[in-house]
Amino acid sequence: MLTFLRRRTLTSLPPLLAVVLGVFVLARLTGDPAALYLPENATAQAREQFSAAHGFDQPIWSQLIDYLAQVTRLDFGTSLRTGEPAAVMALRAFPATLQLAVVTMLLACAVATAVGCWAALRPNGLGDRISSLMSMTAASVPDFWLAILGIWVFSIMLGVLPTSGVDAGGLSWVLPIAVLMLRPAGVLTQVVRGAMIAALGSPYVKVARSKGAGERRVVVRHALKNAAPPALTVAGDLAVGLINGAVVVESIFGWPGIGKLMIDSILQRDFAVLQAAVAITAISIFVLNIGIDLGYALLDSRVRQKVGAAA
């Protein structure tokens, strides 16, 4: 298992390096920070002094080498806007995104498991058709459109939920979670339904029923256990997409997470904060993928045997 972890970690390093290099180059395409942080009537000398103070007067390859040297020391630089260490700002914002993503995925998995299992018990029935229609619709609607619609209906027309921010306590969570949850819940419902239909028609389920096992025992202990691995894989991919998709939703709802921090950093040309936020997000995604692989191995003995053989 340790060999497997070491191998997965090593294979994750090249993509992580590509992300670090990509965001470094793309961030500088947003423009000159001096145009935002200095007055419009600033002299050329003042602009040169600003660029020299922050290293922007150096060739981009020289800036890149200095940046990579800093990253090896876990130093992402300081914010142009606040003067704080960029890594501190990103780490301070990340828990808000993590909390939102965890709660959303837990609710999405719970809803998808319940609805998918219920639909699989009577395939092609009325309930199955309704749940399939609703889940496919939920999986197809864009998050940003749902967010705007939710604000218009529940905040502006009905006035029962806040438009943005976190000052309203638990009510502040309702719209962001509802918007982020619909797509993964819809996709997972279809996956759970298909896996459960296949599992319920398998020989070991028929044997369990012939031995007099109750329907709940058959569904939970036999069918659902064997339907879990493919659902876990899809849930992991959806969780990764959820972290990426939170950028737009956090900006719409003013959620103080790392996604909103990225957007603010782009608009303010705060290169150091943007680079730190993207790097921390990428690392979290790689860690999540490794965790998914381990979880899949624990649920599926065939994968566990392959991992053990590879180790």
Once rounded to an integer, what is the mean pLDDT over residues 30-52?
A: 84
User: What ranges make up the beta strands (E) of the chain?
Assistant: none
- At 303, the pLDDT band (50, 70, 90 cuts) reads low
Q: What angle do CA 249, 251, 257 make, to 5 degrees?
A: 85
Q: What is the pTM of this model?
A: 0.79
Pick the CATH number of 99-265 from 3.40.50.2300, 1.20.120.1750, 1.10.3720.10, 3.30.70.120: 1.10.3720.10
Once rounded to an integer, what is the mean pLDDT over residues 50-69?
A: 86
Angle between helices 225-253 and 143-150 (to 10 degrees): 60
Domain boundaries, the chain: 99-265
Residues 6+ apart with CB under 8 A from 210: none
Residue 247 has pLDDT above 70, yes or no: yes
Residue 22 has pLDDT above 80, yes or no: yes
pLDDT at residue 299, rounded to an integer: 62
Residue 310 has pLDDT above 60, yes or no: no
pLDDT at residue 204, rounded to an integer: 73
Per DSSP, what are the bridge partners of residue 78? 85
pLDDT, the chain, mean: 83
Q: In the numeric block, which tokens belong to residue 294?
A: 């381990």
Percent of residues, the chain, with pLDDT higher than 70? 92
Q: Which residue, among 233, 122, 127, 121, has the nearest Cα to 187 in the 3D structure?
A: 233
133-159 pLDDT per residue, tens: 998 888 888 888 889 999 999 999 998
